[in-house]
Chains A and B, each alone.
Chain A
Amino acid sequence: MLLFGANFISNIGEEVAMVLFGIGFANLLFQKNLIKKIIGLNIMDSSVYLFLAEKGYIEGRLAPIVVNGIQDVNTYINPIPSGLVLTGIVVSVSVTALMLSLTVRLYRRYHTLDLDEISARLKKEGL
Protein backbone atom coordinates (compact mmCIF):
# COMPACT_ATOMS: atom_id res chain seq x y z
CA MET A 1 0.00 0.00 0.00
CA LEU A 2 3.03 2.23 0.06
CA LEU A 3 2.46 2.95 -3.57
CA PHE A 4 -0.89 4.56 -3.04
CA GLY A 5 -1.46 8.11 -1.94
CA ALA A 6 -3.47 9.38 1.00
CA ASN A 7 -6.84 9.76 -0.69
CA PHE A 8 -7.40 6.17 -1.73
CA ILE A 9 -10.49 5.70 0.44
CA SER A 10 -12.14 9.05 -0.14
CA ASN A 11 -11.73 8.81 -3.90
CA ILE A 12 -13.48 5.47 -4.18
CA GLY A 13 -15.82 6.71 -6.90
CA GLU A 14 -12.90 7.80 -9.01
CA GLU A 15 -11.11 4.53 -8.40
CA VAL A 16 -14.15 2.74 -9.76
CA ALA A 17 -14.09 5.06 -12.76
CA MET A 18 -10.47 4.10 -13.38
CA VAL A 19 -11.24 0.38 -13.13
CA LEU A 20 -14.06 0.89 -15.61
CA PHE A 21 -11.68 2.78 -17.88
CA GLY A 22 -9.28 -0.15 -17.79
CA ILE A 23 -12.04 -2.65 -18.50
CA GLY A 24 -13.31 -0.57 -21.40
CA PHE A 25 -9.79 -0.13 -22.74
CA ALA A 26 -9.14 -3.86 -22.60
CA ASN A 27 -12.46 -4.59 -24.29
CA LEU A 28 -11.75 -2.14 -27.07
CA LEU A 29 -8.31 -3.62 -27.58
CA PHE A 30 -8.79 -7.36 -27.13
CA GLN A 31 -12.36 -8.33 -27.83
CA LYS A 32 -12.58 -10.14 -31.11
CA ASN A 33 -16.17 -9.21 -31.71
CA LEU A 34 -16.62 -5.75 -33.17
CA ILE A 35 -19.87 -5.01 -31.35
CA LYS A 36 -18.25 -5.85 -28.04
CA LYS A 37 -15.37 -3.59 -28.98
CA ILE A 38 -17.84 -0.77 -29.46
CA ILE A 39 -19.47 -1.48 -26.12
CA GLY A 40 -16.01 -1.34 -24.59
CA LEU A 41 -15.49 2.04 -26.20
CA ASN A 42 -18.72 3.29 -24.67
CA ILE A 43 -17.78 1.99 -21.25
CA MET A 44 -14.42 3.73 -21.53
CA ASP A 45 -16.02 7.05 -22.42
CA SER A 46 -18.65 6.77 -19.69
CA SER A 47 -15.96 6.11 -17.14
CA VAL A 48 -14.17 9.32 -18.07
CA TYR A 49 -17.43 11.18 -17.69
CA LEU A 50 -18.05 9.56 -14.32
CA PHE A 51 -14.60 10.70 -13.28
CA LEU A 52 -15.36 14.26 -14.37
CA ALA A 53 -18.71 14.30 -12.62
CA GLU A 54 -17.08 13.10 -9.41
CA LYS A 55 -14.62 15.94 -9.78
CA GLY A 56 -17.37 18.53 -9.95
CA TYR A 57 -19.27 17.15 -6.99
CA ILE A 58 -18.98 18.99 -3.69
CA GLU A 59 -20.39 17.48 -0.53
CA GLY A 60 -23.70 18.93 0.56
CA ARG A 61 -24.21 21.35 -2.30
CA LEU A 62 -26.99 21.62 -4.86
CA ALA A 63 -27.22 21.17 -8.60
CA PRO A 64 -26.15 24.30 -10.49
CA ILE A 65 -29.60 25.72 -11.15
CA VAL A 66 -30.32 29.04 -9.50
CA VAL A 67 -33.22 28.66 -7.08
CA ASN A 68 -34.84 31.53 -5.19
CA GLY A 69 -32.28 33.94 -6.56
CA ILE A 70 -29.48 32.65 -4.34
CA GLN A 71 -26.22 33.20 -6.20
CA ASP A 72 -23.75 32.22 -3.54
CA VAL A 73 -20.69 30.20 -4.53
CA ASN A 74 -21.13 27.98 -1.51
CA THR A 75 -24.58 26.81 -2.56
CA TYR A 76 -23.89 25.06 -5.84
CA ILE A 77 -21.49 22.46 -7.16
CA ASN A 78 -18.89 23.20 -9.82
CA PRO A 79 -20.74 23.54 -13.16
CA ILE A 80 -17.72 23.20 -15.47
CA PRO A 81 -17.37 19.37 -15.47
CA SER A 82 -21.08 19.00 -16.25
CA GLY A 83 -20.69 21.17 -19.31
CA LEU A 84 -17.68 19.20 -20.50
CA VAL A 85 -19.48 15.89 -20.01
CA LEU A 86 -22.50 17.14 -21.99
CA THR A 87 -20.20 17.89 -24.89
CA GLY A 88 -18.44 14.56 -24.49
CA ILE A 89 -21.60 12.45 -24.46
CA VAL A 90 -22.66 13.77 -27.85
CA VAL A 91 -19.20 13.12 -29.27
CA SER A 92 -19.28 9.53 -28.06
CA VAL A 93 -22.75 8.96 -29.54
CA SER A 94 -21.55 10.16 -32.93
CA VAL A 95 -18.49 7.96 -32.79
CA THR A 96 -20.63 4.98 -31.77
CA ALA A 97 -22.97 5.50 -34.70
CA LEU A 98 -20.02 5.70 -37.07
CA MET A 99 -18.43 2.54 -35.69
CA LEU A 100 -21.71 0.64 -35.87
CA SER A 101 -22.25 1.60 -39.48
CA LEU A 102 -18.70 0.47 -40.26
CA THR A 103 -19.56 -2.82 -38.58
CA VAL A 104 -22.66 -3.26 -40.73
CA ARG A 105 -20.71 -2.64 -43.90
CA LEU A 106 -17.91 -4.97 -42.87
CA TYR A 107 -20.38 -7.70 -42.03
CA ARG A 108 -22.19 -7.26 -45.32
CA ARG A 109 -18.89 -7.81 -47.09
CA TYR A 110 -17.27 -10.58 -45.05
CA HIS A 111 -20.08 -12.14 -43.01
CA THR A 112 -18.15 -12.14 -39.79
CA LEU A 113 -17.63 -9.75 -36.91
CA ASP A 114 -14.15 -11.00 -36.06
CA LEU A 115 -11.56 -8.47 -37.15
CA ASP A 116 -8.66 -10.94 -36.99
CA GLU A 117 -10.48 -13.36 -39.22
CA ILE A 118 -11.19 -10.63 -41.73
CA SER A 119 -7.58 -9.59 -41.94
CA ALA A 120 -6.43 -13.21 -42.16
CA ARG A 121 -8.81 -13.65 -45.07
CA LEU A 122 -7.55 -10.48 -46.73
CA LYS A 123 -4.00 -11.77 -46.46
CA LYS A 124 -4.98 -15.11 -47.91
CA GLU A 125 -6.63 -13.42 -50.84
CA GLY A 126 -3.31 -11.71 -51.33
CA LEU A 127 -5.00 -8.40 -51.92
Chain B
Amino acid sequence: MEKIREEKDMNESRQEENKKPTVYRIWRALKGQSEEKAEELTLEREQILDEKVLEKHRLDHEKMLEKTYDIEHNPIYGFFRRFYKVAGVLCCLALIIILLVQVSYLPPVGSSSNPGSNEVAAKYIEDGLQDTGAVNIVTGMILDYRAFDTFGESNVLFIATCTVLILLRNDKKKGKDSAEAEERRDSYYEPKNDVILQTITKVLVPIIFIFGIYVILNGHLSPGGGFSGGAIIGAGLILYLNAFGFQKIERFFTEKTYKWVSFGSLTFYCLAKSYSFYTGAHHLESGIPLGKAGAIISSGLILPLNICVGLVVACTMYAFFALFRKGGF
Protein backbone atom coordinates (compact mmCIF):
# COMPACT_ATOMS: atom_id res chain seq x y z
CA MET B 1 0.00 0.00 0.00
CA GLU B 2 2.74 2.32 0.97
CA LYS B 3 4.73 1.43 -2.08
CA ILE B 4 1.89 2.47 -4.33
CA ARG B 5 1.62 5.78 -2.62
CA GLU B 6 5.31 6.32 -2.97
CA GLU B 7 5.11 5.61 -6.62
CA LYS B 8 2.22 8.00 -6.95
CA ASP B 9 4.22 10.70 -5.24
CA MET B 10 7.12 10.08 -7.52
CA ASN B 11 4.94 10.27 -10.57
CA GLU B 12 3.48 13.54 -9.44
CA SER B 13 6.83 15.05 -8.74
CA ARG B 14 8.09 13.85 -12.09
CA GLN B 15 5.16 15.47 -13.80
CA GLU B 16 5.94 18.68 -11.98
CA GLU B 17 9.48 18.36 -13.17
CA ASN B 18 8.25 18.01 -16.70
CA LYS B 19 6.06 21.07 -16.39
CA LYS B 20 9.05 23.29 -15.77
CA PRO B 21 10.22 24.97 -18.96
CA THR B 22 12.98 23.33 -20.95
CA VAL B 23 15.09 26.45 -20.82
CA TYR B 24 15.14 26.29 -17.06
CA ARG B 25 16.33 22.70 -17.14
CA ILE B 26 19.06 23.44 -19.65
CA TRP B 27 20.16 26.39 -17.52
CA ARG B 28 20.34 24.15 -14.52
CA ALA B 29 22.37 21.58 -16.41
CA LEU B 30 24.78 24.27 -17.51
CA LYS B 31 25.20 25.43 -13.92
CA GLY B 32 26.18 21.91 -13.08
CA GLN B 33 23.22 20.91 -10.92
CA SER B 34 21.79 17.55 -11.63
CA GLU B 35 18.13 16.96 -12.12
CA GLU B 36 16.35 16.44 -8.89
CA LYS B 37 14.98 13.05 -9.62
CA ALA B 38 17.73 11.91 -11.95
CA GLU B 39 19.27 9.41 -9.59
CA GLU B 40 16.09 7.40 -9.67
CA LEU B 41 16.47 6.78 -13.38
CA THR B 42 19.35 4.33 -13.16
CA LEU B 43 18.83 0.95 -14.70
CA GLU B 44 18.92 -2.03 -12.46
CA ARG B 45 20.72 -5.20 -13.30
CA GLU B 46 18.54 -8.14 -13.85
CA GLN B 47 19.11 -10.49 -10.99
CA ILE B 48 18.13 -14.09 -10.83
CA LEU B 49 18.47 -15.32 -7.33
CA ASP B 50 17.02 -18.73 -7.72
CA GLU B 51 19.68 -21.36 -8.14
CA LYS B 52 17.25 -23.74 -9.74
CA VAL B 53 16.37 -21.29 -12.48
CA LEU B 54 20.03 -20.74 -13.20
CA GLU B 55 20.65 -24.45 -13.38
CA LYS B 56 17.72 -24.88 -15.73
CA HIS B 57 19.03 -22.12 -17.96
CA ARG B 58 22.42 -23.76 -18.09
CA LEU B 59 20.97 -27.14 -18.96
CA ASP B 60 18.81 -25.61 -21.66
CA HIS B 61 21.79 -23.87 -23.11
CA GLU B 62 23.83 -27.05 -23.18
CA LYS B 63 21.00 -28.96 -24.77
CA MET B 64 20.66 -26.27 -27.39
CA LEU B 65 24.37 -26.37 -28.12
CA GLU B 66 24.29 -30.12 -28.37
CA LYS B 67 21.37 -30.04 -30.72
CA THR B 68 22.88 -27.36 -32.90
CA TYR B 69 26.37 -28.74 -33.18
CA ASP B 70 25.69 -32.43 -33.05
CA ILE B 71 26.70 -33.03 -36.60
CA GLU B 72 25.65 -36.64 -37.02
CA HIS B 73 22.17 -36.51 -35.56
CA ASN B 74 20.89 -33.10 -36.48
CA PRO B 75 18.80 -33.60 -39.63
CA ILE B 76 18.76 -29.94 -40.65
CA TYR B 77 22.47 -29.56 -40.26
CA GLY B 78 23.05 -32.84 -42.09
CA PHE B 79 20.79 -31.71 -44.90
CA PHE B 80 22.69 -28.47 -45.26
CA ARG B 81 25.97 -30.32 -45.26
CA ARG B 82 24.83 -32.59 -48.04
CA PHE B 83 23.27 -29.71 -49.93
CA TYR B 84 26.47 -27.73 -49.63
CA LYS B 85 28.51 -30.66 -50.90
CA VAL B 86 26.28 -31.33 -53.88
CA ALA B 87 26.07 -27.65 -54.76
CA GLY B 88 29.82 -27.32 -54.48
CA VAL B 89 30.53 -30.26 -56.73
CA LEU B 90 28.03 -28.94 -59.26
CA CYS B 91 29.71 -25.54 -59.13
CA CYS B 92 33.10 -27.08 -59.78
CA LEU B 93 31.76 -29.12 -62.69
CA ALA B 94 30.17 -25.97 -64.08
CA LEU B 95 33.48 -24.17 -63.69
CA ILE B 96 35.31 -26.92 -65.58
CA ILE B 97 32.75 -26.92 -68.38
CA ILE B 98 32.82 -23.13 -68.66
CA LEU B 99 36.60 -23.18 -68.84
CA LEU B 100 36.56 -25.95 -71.45
CA VAL B 101 34.16 -23.95 -73.57
CA GLN B 102 36.34 -20.92 -73.07
CA VAL B 103 39.48 -22.73 -74.20
CA SER B 104 37.82 -24.13 -77.27
CA TYR B 105 37.29 -20.57 -78.49
CA LEU B 106 40.84 -19.42 -77.79
CA PRO B 107 43.42 -19.15 -80.57
CA PRO B 108 44.97 -22.51 -81.48
CA VAL B 109 48.10 -23.75 -79.73
CA GLY B 110 51.32 -23.76 -81.68
CA SER B 111 50.30 -21.44 -84.43
CA SER B 112 52.61 -18.53 -85.14
CA SER B 113 49.82 -16.04 -85.80
CA ASN B 114 48.52 -15.94 -82.24
CA PRO B 115 47.96 -12.56 -80.64
CA GLY B 116 50.72 -13.48 -78.20
CA SER B 117 53.48 -13.36 -80.78
CA ASN B 118 53.26 -9.67 -81.51
CA GLU B 119 55.69 -6.79 -81.51
CA VAL B 120 56.49 -7.22 -77.82
CA ALA B 121 57.80 -10.75 -78.19
CA ALA B 122 59.51 -9.79 -81.44
CA LYS B 123 61.37 -6.96 -79.74
CA TYR B 124 62.50 -9.26 -76.93
CA ILE B 125 63.88 -11.75 -79.41
CA GLU B 126 65.38 -9.40 -81.93
CA ASP B 127 66.91 -6.76 -79.68
CA GLY B 128 67.20 -8.70 -76.45
CA LEU B 129 70.86 -9.50 -76.88
CA GLN B 130 71.78 -5.91 -77.68
CA ASP B 131 69.55 -4.35 -75.02
CA THR B 132 70.34 -6.58 -72.09
CA GLY B 133 73.42 -8.54 -73.11
CA ALA B 134 71.83 -11.82 -72.04
CA VAL B 135 71.92 -14.79 -74.38
CA ASN B 136 69.04 -16.41 -72.53
CA ILE B 137 66.15 -14.23 -73.60
CA VAL B 138 63.91 -15.27 -70.70
CA THR B 139 66.51 -14.20 -68.13
CA GLY B 140 67.02 -10.92 -69.94
CA MET B 141 63.30 -10.37 -69.92
CA ILE B 142 62.63 -11.07 -66.24
CA LEU B 143 65.69 -9.26 -64.92
CA ASP B 144 65.76 -6.28 -67.21
CA TYR B 145 62.63 -5.58 -69.20
CA ARG B 146 60.18 -6.65 -66.51
CA ALA B 147 62.43 -6.32 -63.49
CA PHE B 148 59.76 -4.76 -61.30
CA ASP B 149 57.76 -8.02 -61.27
CA THR B 150 60.81 -9.99 -60.34
CA PHE B 151 61.64 -7.61 -57.53
CA GLY B 152 58.12 -8.04 -56.23
CA GLU B 153 58.59 -11.77 -56.44
CA SER B 154 61.74 -11.72 -54.28
CA ASN B 155 59.72 -9.73 -51.80
CA VAL B 156 57.09 -12.45 -51.82
CA LEU B 157 59.77 -14.95 -50.80
CA PHE B 158 61.06 -12.59 -48.14
CA ILE B 159 57.65 -11.96 -46.64
CA ALA B 160 56.78 -15.66 -46.74
CA THR B 161 59.89 -16.39 -44.67
CA CYS B 162 58.79 -13.70 -42.24
CA THR B 163 55.38 -15.28 -41.79
CA VAL B 164 56.87 -18.75 -41.38
CA LEU B 165 59.19 -17.25 -38.77
CA ILE B 166 56.19 -15.86 -36.90
CA LEU B 167 54.50 -19.21 -36.89
CA LEU B 168 57.26 -21.66 -36.21
CA ARG B 169 60.11 -19.90 -34.44
CA ASN B 170 60.53 -21.05 -30.88
CA ASP B 171 60.00 -18.27 -28.41
CA LYS B 172 63.07 -17.24 -26.58
CA LYS B 173 61.20 -16.52 -23.40
CA LYS B 174 60.07 -20.08 -23.01
CA GLY B 175 63.67 -20.96 -22.50
CA LYS B 176 65.79 -23.67 -23.97
CA ASP B 177 63.64 -26.44 -22.64
CA SER B 178 61.07 -26.41 -25.36
CA ALA B 179 63.69 -26.16 -28.10
CA GLU B 180 65.63 -29.04 -26.67
CA ALA B 181 62.54 -31.14 -26.26
CA GLU B 182 61.63 -30.43 -29.82
CA GLU B 183 65.04 -31.46 -31.03
CA ARG B 184 64.96 -34.65 -29.02
CA ARG B 185 61.61 -35.54 -30.47
CA ASP B 186 62.94 -34.70 -33.86
CA SER B 187 66.05 -36.81 -33.57
CA TYR B 188 63.99 -39.74 -32.39
CA TYR B 189 62.67 -40.16 -35.88
CA GLU B 190 66.01 -39.88 -37.53
CA PRO B 191 68.86 -42.31 -37.84
CA LYS B 192 71.82 -40.29 -36.66
CA ASN B 193 75.28 -41.05 -37.90
CA ASP B 194 74.11 -43.31 -40.67
CA VAL B 195 77.33 -44.27 -42.46
CA ILE B 196 75.79 -44.88 -45.86
CA LEU B 197 73.92 -41.61 -45.86
CA GLN B 198 76.90 -39.63 -44.64
CA THR B 199 79.29 -41.10 -47.18
CA ILE B 200 76.94 -40.51 -50.05
CA THR B 201 76.29 -37.01 -48.80
CA LYS B 202 79.99 -36.28 -48.67
CA VAL B 203 80.23 -37.18 -52.34
CA LEU B 204 76.99 -35.65 -53.47
CA VAL B 205 76.85 -32.31 -51.68
CA PRO B 206 79.89 -30.77 -53.39
CA ILE B 207 78.53 -31.86 -56.76
CA ILE B 208 75.14 -30.38 -55.97
CA PHE B 209 76.72 -27.12 -54.82
CA ILE B 210 78.90 -26.87 -57.91
CA PHE B 211 75.93 -27.57 -60.14
CA GLY B 212 73.88 -24.94 -58.35
CA ILE B 213 76.64 -22.37 -58.65
CA TYR B 214 77.02 -23.24 -62.31
CA VAL B 215 73.29 -22.73 -62.89
CA ILE B 216 73.36 -19.38 -61.13
CA LEU B 217 76.47 -18.06 -62.85
CA ASN B 218 75.28 -19.16 -66.26
CA GLY B 219 71.80 -17.81 -65.76
CA HIS B 220 72.19 -15.36 -68.61
CA LEU B 221 73.76 -17.89 -70.95
CA SER B 222 71.85 -21.13 -70.46
CA PRO B 223 68.57 -22.25 -68.94
CA GLY B 224 68.27 -21.54 -65.26
CA GLY B 225 69.16 -18.56 -63.20
CA GLY B 226 68.94 -17.35 -59.66
CA PHE B 227 65.75 -19.12 -58.67
CA SER B 228 66.53 -22.58 -59.94
CA GLY B 229 70.17 -22.44 -58.88
CA GLY B 230 69.25 -21.16 -55.46
CA ALA B 231 66.72 -23.94 -55.02
CA ILE B 232 69.37 -26.50 -56.00
CA ILE B 233 71.85 -25.13 -53.45
CA GLY B 234 69.08 -25.02 -50.85
CA ALA B 235 68.31 -28.67 -51.55
CA GLY B 236 72.01 -29.46 -51.06
CA LEU B 237 72.01 -27.70 -47.71
CA ILE B 238 68.92 -29.63 -46.67
CA LEU B 239 70.59 -32.92 -47.60
CA TYR B 240 73.66 -31.97 -45.59
CA LEU B 241 71.47 -31.09 -42.63
CA ASN B 242 69.67 -34.39 -42.78
CA ALA B 243 72.88 -36.37 -42.88
CA PHE B 244 74.92 -34.53 -40.27
CA GLY B 245 72.41 -32.80 -38.06
CA PHE B 246 72.12 -29.25 -36.88
CA GLN B 247 75.30 -29.05 -34.89
CA LYS B 248 77.57 -29.45 -37.85
CA ILE B 249 75.72 -27.06 -40.07
CA GLU B 250 75.67 -24.41 -37.39
CA ARG B 251 79.41 -24.06 -37.76
CA PHE B 252 78.90 -22.14 -40.96
CA PHE B 253 75.20 -21.36 -41.20
CA THR B 254 73.18 -19.83 -38.37
CA GLU B 255 70.18 -17.58 -38.14
CA LYS B 256 72.53 -14.62 -38.11
CA THR B 257 74.09 -15.72 -41.40
CA TYR B 258 70.68 -16.08 -42.92
CA LYS B 259 69.62 -12.66 -41.70
CA TRP B 260 72.62 -10.82 -43.02
CA VAL B 261 72.90 -12.72 -46.31
CA SER B 262 69.29 -12.13 -47.20
CA PHE B 263 69.43 -8.53 -46.00
CA GLY B 264 72.57 -7.83 -48.01
CA SER B 265 71.31 -9.45 -51.20
CA LEU B 266 67.90 -7.84 -51.06
CA THR B 267 69.41 -4.45 -50.29
CA PHE B 268 71.78 -4.74 -53.22
CA TYR B 269 68.91 -5.86 -55.42
CA CYS B 270 66.74 -2.99 -54.29
CA LEU B 271 69.44 -0.34 -54.71
CA ALA B 272 70.58 -1.64 -58.09
CA LYS B 273 67.07 -1.77 -59.44
CA SER B 274 66.18 1.64 -58.02
CA TYR B 275 69.21 3.05 -59.76
CA SER B 276 68.26 1.46 -63.03
CA PHE B 277 64.58 2.46 -62.75
CA TYR B 278 65.53 6.01 -61.88
CA THR B 279 67.99 6.43 -64.72
CA GLY B 280 65.59 4.72 -67.09
CA ALA B 281 62.70 6.98 -66.26
CA HIS B 282 64.81 10.09 -66.61
CA HIS B 283 66.36 8.85 -69.87
CA LEU B 284 69.85 8.87 -68.43
CA GLU B 285 72.58 6.46 -69.42
CA SER B 286 73.01 3.84 -66.73
CA GLY B 287 76.74 3.61 -67.40
CA ILE B 288 76.94 -0.11 -66.78
CA PRO B 289 78.85 -1.90 -69.52
CA LEU B 290 77.08 -4.85 -71.10
CA GLY B 291 80.27 -6.66 -72.03
CA LYS B 292 80.77 -9.20 -74.75
CA ALA B 293 77.75 -11.37 -75.42
CA GLY B 294 78.24 -14.95 -74.38
CA ALA B 295 80.97 -14.36 -71.83
CA ILE B 296 80.41 -15.17 -68.18
CA ILE B 297 81.06 -11.61 -67.08
CA SER B 298 78.66 -9.80 -69.32
CA SER B 299 75.14 -8.42 -69.53
CA GLY B 300 75.55 -5.66 -66.99
CA LEU B 301 73.52 -6.00 -63.81
CA ILE B 302 71.98 -9.36 -64.66
CA LEU B 303 74.83 -11.47 -63.31
CA PRO B 304 75.06 -9.77 -59.88
CA LEU B 305 71.29 -9.79 -59.61
CA ASN B 306 71.21 -13.50 -60.39
CA ILE B 307 73.79 -14.11 -57.68
CA CYS B 308 71.74 -12.09 -55.19
CA VAL B 309 68.54 -13.92 -56.07
CA GLY B 310 70.38 -17.22 -55.82
CA LEU B 311 71.68 -16.42 -52.35
CA VAL B 312 68.25 -15.30 -51.15
CA VAL B 313 66.50 -18.35 -52.55
CA ALA B 314 69.09 -20.81 -51.20
CA CYS B 315 68.91 -19.28 -47.72
CA THR B 316 65.13 -19.11 -47.82
CA MET B 317 64.68 -22.72 -48.83
CA TYR B 318 67.04 -23.87 -46.12
CA ALA B 319 65.34 -21.58 -43.61
CA PHE B 320 61.94 -23.02 -44.45
CA PHE B 321 63.18 -26.53 -43.83
CA ALA B 322 65.06 -25.66 -40.66
CA LEU B 323 62.02 -23.88 -39.27
CA PHE B 324 59.80 -26.81 -40.08
CA ARG B 325 62.18 -29.25 -38.46
CA LYS B 326 63.24 -27.51 -35.32
CA GLY B 327 61.64 -24.11 -35.15
CA GLY B 328 64.92 -22.30 -35.56
CA PHE B 329 68.30 -22.57 -37.12
Contact = CB atoms under 8 A, between A and B. Distances in A.
Contact, chains A and B (beta carbon distance below 8 A):
yes
B270 interface: no
Interface of B: 65, 69, 71, 85, 88-89, 92-93, 95-96, 99-112, 114, 116-117, 120-122, 124-126, 128-129, 135-138, 141-142, 146, 149-150, 153, 156-157, 159-160, 163-164, 167-168, 222-223, 225, 227, 293, 313, 320, 323-324
Contacts of A66: 128-129, 135-137, 293
A51 B188 CA distance: 44
A99 B93 CA distance: 26
A90 to B, nearest CB: 5
Interface residues of A, number: 62
Interface in A1-55: 3-8, 10-11, 13-15, 17-19, 21-22, 25-26, 29-30, 54-55
A5 B125 contact: no
Contact of B65 (A89, A93, A124): A124
B129 A71 contact: yes
Given A59-B112, A123-B69, 5 more contacts: A29-B92, A58-B111, A72-B126, A90-B157, A101-B164
Interface in A48-101: 54-59, 61, 63-66, 71-76, 78-83, 86-87, 89-91, 93-95, 97-98, 100-101
Given A8-B104, A30-B85, A55-B109, A101 B69 contact: no
Given A76-B125, A78-B121, A86-B227, A101 B324 contact: yes
Contact of B69 (A75, A82, A124): A124
Nearest to B168: A101
A96 B324 CA distance: 13
Nearest to B107: A7
Nearest to B121: A78
Given A6-B104, A95-B160, A22 B95 contact: yes
